[in-house]
Amino acid sequence: MKAFFKRITGTRRETVTPAPAAATAAAECVCGEKQQCKILIVCKGQEFSRGIADYAVDMACKTRSSLVALNIDESGRDFDGFRSQAERNIEYFNAKAADAGLTFRHEIQQGDENAIVARMHEKDPSFRYVMDDSAAVCKNRSSIPVYTRATLRAK
């Protein structure tokens, strides 16, 4: 037992050497590498908030993921108008992802959110996270709901 404690206390006295610059750079966002998983960002409106765009890009860099932004029109009224407005409003999100060197795709669909997310996950199982940017869910914008693959709302 004494030998065990000596070994533990002996390692505490050793100095910590900083990681080389190459290792530090590898730990940062290296977006040129192959991206294996995807993050789905869902918005029930025509425009994503800047907060979710910033958070999603940051998370995608850290997890080396690509981004899929999804605008959902659940109302069923004037889908063409909804589509054109959503396409105009995606500029900030698209520019932010491009600046980070991330793969970014924007989709606009009409229907029930749970059914659309389930269908997308069924077609492409590489979705690892789902973020919700619904105004009703993110009223105070201090927290952003993120679902993992295991807790997807898809049934």
The H-or-E segment that residue 104 falls in is strand 104-110
pTM greater than the 0.95 cutoff = no
- CA dist 11 and 15 (Å) reads 9
pLDDT tens readout for residues 54-93: 999 999 999 999 999 999 999 888 999 999 999 999 999 9
Q: Is 81 helix (H, G, I), strand (E, B) or coil?
A: helix
